[in-house]
Structures are given as C-alpha cells and as structure tokens.
C-alpha cells in the first residue's frame, strides 16, 4: 500500500482512498459501477482525471481555540464536532487554502472572538473560499454568528493586502445551532457578492449558497458527455431538472429549441436566470420549486418534452418524478448521478415505465474520495418492448407491489368512469403520499409539502383512495 497522501485522512474521513494508488482507485470505482449498473447496460471505462490532486475549487474551515488560546482553523473530525487543525489538504485548490490560513491568522491579529458551539458565544464561525478556475476570481466568505462584526473594514483591507486575487468578500450570518455552514443572510463587504467561472465556453455566476461542481476540469467532460448523450438537433424541448445555477441547460440550449430548468434553491435560480442573460440565451427559462412536484404539474397539464436531463442530489430522484416523466414521454433521458446506488434504484423504476439505459459513462470527479459520478443515457422503448420489459422486471426486482399496481392514467380512467370527474397526476401523487404508498419506499420528500399546490377537494381524494383499493394498492 502506498503512503497516505494526507496525515489527517483517518480523522477527516473525506478521502476514503488516501492510501490507495490512483490507478487502483479508478479500478475500484469501475468495479462498483459495473456491479451496480451493468444489469442495465454496458458500462464504459471511467474517464480518469488528469489532475487528481488540488482539484477542489471550494474549501472550508471551521475555527476553534486551543487551550493555549491559539486559534486554529481546521475541519470537523468525521461524524463529530471536534475540530482537527489542518495544515494542508491535498485535494483542495492551493490558493483557497493559503487564503484560509491567512484568514485564521487575521482573526488572531484582530483579536476577534471565535464562536463556541456549545456555549454559543463568540463571533467568527467558519470560512469558505471558492475560486473560479478559468477566471481566477475568488470569493471569501466569513461566517459569523451575528451581523455585528467589529473592525470589519480594516479586516477586509488587511485580507485584500495579503490576497489581492480576492475579488469579493461576503459576511454570511449564521446564528442558528446547526450543522449547516452557511446561514440565510449575506452582507457583501467587498466586490459584487458572487464570482464568475467559465465552463464549456459559457460564463457562470456563482453565489455563496449555490451549488457548483467542485472539479471544474472534469465538469467540462461531464457536461459534454451529458449533452452528447442527449442527441440534440436544435428542434428539442428540453427539461433540466435539479439544475442548480443552470449549467447543464445552458450548455444544451444552443443545440435545442427550448430549455426549462427547475431547481429548489431560490438563490441558485436567481443565478441561473442571470446566467442565461449573461450568455445571450433567449430560449431558456427557469422555475423555482421541487422538481418532482413541478414534473407532476407538467404531466397534469399535458406537457411534452423531447429530452429530460436530471442531476439530483445523492438521494436520487423520486417515484413521482419518474412517473411524471412517463407522462411527458421524452425520447431520451440523461441521468447525471453522484451516487450509483440510487442511480441503480431509479434505473429500475425507469425500466418499469419503458425506458432502457443505453449508455453508462462513469466520470472521475472526486479523486481520492470514495465518490463516483456517472452519466447514463436512457431511451424510450416502443410500446411492445416496454410491456415485455415490465413483466420481466417485476419478477426480478423486488419493487413494492403497491407502486406497480396501476399507472396514473389507469387511476384517472377508473375515477372518471366510476365518479365522472377528472383527477390530476398531482392529486394522485398527493394521495399516494397521504396513504404512505410513496413514503414507504424511503425516498426523500420535499419539506414544503403543500406550499405551492392548492388544496384538493375531499371527494377527489376519496375517489382516488377508492381507486387504490380497487387496484389493491392499499
């Protein structure tokens, strides 16, 4: 076994493969993806990273005070709130790390009080630094427990003298007792309040709270792969679900008729809209909200899409999203996943509604860590093939019978026939949740359950429950 790349590896837990030679890491990741995904389609060899070290464009430190009163900046030991001082991280951008070290030294020099998690006293909690690899723009975020930040002007001045490469400084106020690094309020202390970076020939604005892929060189490969798999000709109506700041949709827009991005984080949606304008694109728009609920509404409105991109968080997507995809009937679906386990689970759901994986491409995005990114292209099967595949899958996969008993269309038709009124996909999805049909399968559900959709009449709910009984779903 090779030497560990990092002395903190065990406590930090970020780099599961700290002691594993890079070629071996790739082989292990390949094996994992093969095992989970080869039942769906042939898995291509993983695209390796040319730079497996110092690739992360974002770095974070938490502050703590030692017994001798010295301030150290570090990271939480895995699964705890104990801070391990960190001298160097081998996968984070070097400039970001130099800035983090100097930020901690400045806190000492300025005698600013460090936040104490248990006592909930003090001011300075975390630092976050992000750098646009292509533009060189740098954002430094100082997370404080309250908005009052004594001598902040001089602090920022001193920081900029040390690091003139910093293009914006933001104070983020996080007064809650929480594991989340960032709070809701940003106070711009210097510059624009965001940075820009370039990917695949487009410029993107990134706010402190917005998701942005951490490995820019590999992200270009990932996005180019995803857009190639979509097979765009300029005539397609495209959905970019879980779109973040709109990166994938914006990369696809020049080759499509129109694109709609959907994203939960409202700050990211604001960035996405700015990004569309910044890149002179007029055929892309964005909606804020839960991707599953939005898709169900689209399906209920009778919308159609030619291509659906989805890039959900590690938990994967939801059965209601997949069901709604069936109604929108895209020719192709491109699933970008950072967790092959939930990808395998969701590909099984897609197979049930008649979508077959055609190409599976792992892409190295997270060298030295245990994470694997995969892009998967799915195509709609013809009706006949769809039927066969569903029957095979039902036997092979241990899917919850309830989910598979009746489609949304069958429930709609049954209610119409029996009660004479129309129920929407959204009505059915909501009732499924109420009856525990969806929750039982342990999918992540949106927090703001009823925030956007109107109340459903009682008679509709009762009719749908009757349909569930009829189809023996409950």
Nearest to 195 by CA among 101, 99, 70: 99
Reading the block at residue 13, the tokens are 């837990």
From 15, 243, 251, 338, active-site residue: 338
Minimum gap (Å) between residue 408 Cβ and ligand SAH: 19
Reading the block at residue 98, the tokens are 């130099």
Residue 71 as a binder of ligand SAH (CB under 6 A): the answer is no
Binding pattern for the stretch 128-167 against ligand SAH, x by CB under 6 A and - elsewhere:
----------------------------------------
Q: Quick check: 252 and 227 in contact, CB under 8 A?
A: yes
Residue 264 as a binder of ligand SAH (CB under 6 A): the answer is yes
> At CA 178, angle to CA 175 and CA 180, rounded to 5?
100
User: Which residue carries 């029996």 as its tokens?
Assistant: 418
Reading the block at residue 205, the tokens are 């604005």
Residue 290 as a binder of ligand SAH (CB under 6 A): the answer is yes
Q: Would you give the DSSP letter of residue 87?
A: S
Closer Cβ to ligand SAH, 73 or 209, answer by number: 209
Reading the block at residue 297, the tokens are 């509404």
Residue span binding ligand SAH (CB under 6 A) among the ranges 102-110, 263-271, 350-358, 379-387: 263-271
For the question of residue 200 being annotated catalytic, the response is no
Closer Cβ to ligand SAH, 115 or 335, answer by number: 335
Residue 263 as a binder of ligand SAH (CB under 6 A): the answer is yes
Answer for which of 5, 62, 140, 243 binds ligand SAH (CB under 6 A) is 243
CB atoms within 10 A of CB 374: 26
d(CA 287, CA 299): 15
Residue 370 as a binder of ligand SAH (CB under 6 A): the answer is no
Region for residue 201 given its phi and psi (left: phi exceeds 0; alpha: psi -120 to 50; beta: otherwise): left
How many residues interact with ligand SAH (rule CB under 6 A)? 19
Nearest to 433 by CA among 409, 459, 456, 399: 456
Answer for which of 49, 248, 343, 376 binds ligand SAH (CB under 6 A) is 248
Nearest to 429 by CA among 302, 292, 303: 292
For residues 15, 20, 22, 26, the Cα torsion angle rounded to the nearest 10 degrees is: -80
Residue span binding ligand SAH (CB under 6 A) among the ranges 181-189, 239-247, 414-422, 432-440: 239-247
- Give the sign of the dihedral formed by CA 429, CA 435, CA 438, CA 444: positive
Closer Cβ to ligand SAH, 20 or 372, answer by number: 372
Answer for which of 311, 346, 364, 373 binds ligand SAH (CB under 6 A) is 311
Answer for which of 244, 316, 319, 354 binds ligand SAH (CB under 6 A) is 244
Binding pattern for the stretch 212-231 against ligand SAH, x by CB under 6 A and - elsewhere:
xx------------------
Q: Quick check: 23 and 95 in contact, CB under 8 A?
A: no
Minimum gap (Å) between residue 342 Cβ and ligand SAH: 12
Nearest to 264 by CA among 290, 296, 287: 290
Q: Quick check: 358 and 328 in contact, CB under 8 A?
A: no
Closer Cβ to ligand SAH, 387 or 452, answer by number: 452
Answer for which of 17, 115, 149, 211 binds ligand SAH (CB under 6 A) is 211
Residue span binding ligand SAH (CB under 6 A) among the ranges 148-156, 236-244, 276-284, 369-377: 236-244
Closer Cβ to ligand SAH, 190 or 212, answer by number: 212
- For 179, the 3-state DSSP assignment is coil
Which residues of the shown chain bind ligand SAH in the complex (CB under 6 A)?
211-213, 242-244, 247-248, 262-265, 268, 290-291, 311-313, 446
Q: State the catalytic residues.
A: 338
């Amino acid at each position: 076994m090779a030497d560990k790349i990092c002395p903190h590896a065990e406590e930090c837990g970020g780099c599961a493969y700290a002691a594993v030679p890079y070629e071996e890491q790739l082989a292990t990741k390949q094996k994992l993806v093969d095992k989970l995904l080869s039942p769906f389609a042939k898995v291509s060899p993983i695209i390796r990273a040319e730079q497996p070290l110092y690739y992360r464009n974002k770095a974070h430190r938490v502050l703590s005070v030692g017994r001798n009163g010295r301030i150290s900046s570090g990271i939480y030991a895995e699964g705890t709130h104990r801070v391990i001082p960190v001298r160097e991280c081998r996968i984070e951008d070097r400039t970001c790390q130099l800035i983090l070290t100097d930020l901690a030294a400045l806190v000492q020099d300025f005698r600013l009080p460090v936040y104490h998690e248990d006592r909930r006293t003090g001011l300075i909690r975390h630092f976050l630094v992000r750098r646009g690899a292509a533009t060189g723009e740098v954002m430094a975020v100082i997370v404080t427990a309250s908005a009052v930040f004594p001598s902040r002007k001089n602090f920022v001045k001193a920081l900029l003298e040390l690091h003139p490469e910093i293009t914006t400084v933001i104070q983020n106020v996080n007064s809650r007792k929480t594991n989340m690094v960032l709070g809701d309020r940003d106070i711009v202390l210097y510059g624009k309040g965001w940075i820009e970076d370039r990917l695949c020939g487009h410029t993107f604005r990134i706010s402190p709270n917005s998701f942005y892929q951490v490995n820019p060189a590999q992200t270009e490969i990932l996005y180019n792969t995803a857009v190639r798999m979509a097979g765009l000709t300029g005539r397609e109506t495209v959905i970019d679900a879980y779109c973040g700041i709109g990166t994938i949709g914006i990369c696809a827009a020049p080759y499509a008729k129109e694109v709609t991005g959907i994203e939960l984080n409202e700050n990211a949606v604001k960035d996405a809209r700015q990004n569309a304008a910044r890149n002179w694109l007029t055929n892309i728009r964005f909606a804020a909200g839960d991707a599953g609920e939005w898709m169900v509404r689209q399906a209920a409105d009778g919308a159609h899409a030619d291509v659906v991109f989805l890039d959900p968080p590690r938990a994967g997507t939801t059965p209601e999203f997949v069901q709604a995809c069936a109604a929108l009937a895209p020719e192709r679906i491109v699933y970008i996943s950072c967790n092959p386990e939930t990808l395998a689970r969701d590909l099984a759901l897609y197979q049930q509604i008649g979508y077959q994986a055609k190409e599976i491409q792992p892409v190295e995005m997270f060298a030295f860590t245990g994470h694997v990114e995969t892009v998967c292209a799915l195509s709609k099967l013809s009706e006949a093939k769809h039927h066969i595949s569903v029957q095979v899958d039902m036997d092979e996969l241990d899917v919850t019978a309830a989910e598979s008993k009746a489609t949304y269309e069958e429930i709609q038709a049954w209610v119409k026939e029996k009660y004479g009124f129309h129920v929407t996909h959204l009505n059915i999805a909501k009732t499924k949740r109420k009856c525990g049909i969806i929750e039982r399968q342990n999918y992540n559900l949106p927090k703001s359950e009823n925030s956007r959709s109107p109340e459903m009449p009682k008679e509709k709910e009762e009719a749908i429950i009757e349909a569930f009984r009829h189809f023996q779903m409950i």
